[in-house]
Structure formats: C-alpha cells, structure tokens
C-alpha cells in the first residue's frame, strides 16, 4: 500500500508535502491509526497493530517534556505573543508563528 500508484502519486519519490497539506493547500490532520482512512498506517491497525504504538507515543511525550525542562523558552526581543487561532476542519493552529529564543537552563 505504501508504494501503490493508485493511492500515491509518484509512490517511489519522497515528498513530505503529502503529509503537510491536502490538495487544496489546507493543513492535513493525518490519522496514524487508520481508523478514518487507510492511506497511511505506520503502526498498522486492528489485530495486527504494532505493539510499540503506545510506547512510541509515550516517547514523544517524554521527548517534548525534556525539551521544556532542559531549555528556557523566551519570546524573541521586542515581539509579543499573539495567541489568535486559525480553525480548520479538525485542527486548530496558531494564526501567526510563535518565534522563540531557546537556551539551556542555568542550574
């Protein structure tokens, strides 16, 4: 399925934009479990689902928590944080990017 030309245009080429936007340029909310669509299921589904799915998701949370703990995150000089949102079908995103300065925490 991952290389099926009926599912993907140019299946042998790496094109990251497939996972970033839909055909109309709107952000794509990708379903990793295959419960909504079966174009991309890196962890499988049903009885054959990868037993490492829960571990992989926990590792991602652990990784982000460590980034927050180990680094000091500050807004770039002179910039204000704009928390306005853009809402898409399923997804809510910040309207403007949050530009930060990241530095190691002082012990």
| 18-66: pLDDT as tens digits | 666 666 666 666 555 555 555 556 677 777 788 888 898 999 999 999 9
> At CA 36, angle to CA 25 and CA 58, rounded to 5?
90
Domain ranges of the chain: 1-50, 62-107
Beta bridge partner(s), residue 92: 87
Mean pLDDT of the 7-13 span: 82
Position 65 scores a pLDDT of 97
Rounded Cα gap, residues 87 and 75, in angstroms: 24
Higher per-residue confidence, 62 vs 82 = 62
CA distance 32 to 57: 11
Tokens 């030309």, residue located: 5
Mean pLDDT computed over 68-73: 94
Do residues 105 and 92 lie in contact, with contact meaning Cβ atoms separated by under 8 Å?
no
Average pLDDT of the chain is: 79
107 known ligand binder: no
Backbone angles phi, psi at 93, to 5 degrees: -130, 160
C-alpha–C-alpha distance, residues 88 and 95, integer Å:
11
Rounded Cα distance, 39 and 19, in Å: 11
Highest mean pLDDT of the ranges 23-27, 68-72, 88-92, 98-102: 68-72
User: What's the pTM value of the predicted model, to 2 decimals?
Assistant: 0.50
Element (H, E) at 2: none
């Amino acid at each position: 399925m991952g290389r099926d030309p009926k599912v993907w245009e140019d299946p042998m080429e790496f094109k990251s934009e497939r996972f970033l936007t839909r055909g109309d340029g709107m952000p794509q909310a990708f379903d990793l479990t295959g419960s909504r669509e079966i174009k991309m299921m890196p962890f499988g589904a049903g009885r054959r689902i990868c037993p490492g799915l829960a571990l992989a998701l926990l590792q991602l949370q652990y990784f982000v928590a460590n980034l927050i703990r180990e680094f000091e995150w500050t807004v770039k000089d002179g910039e204000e944080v704009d928390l306005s949102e853009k809402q898409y079908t399923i997804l809510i995103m910040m309207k403007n990017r949050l530009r930060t300065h990241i530095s190691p925490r002082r012990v």
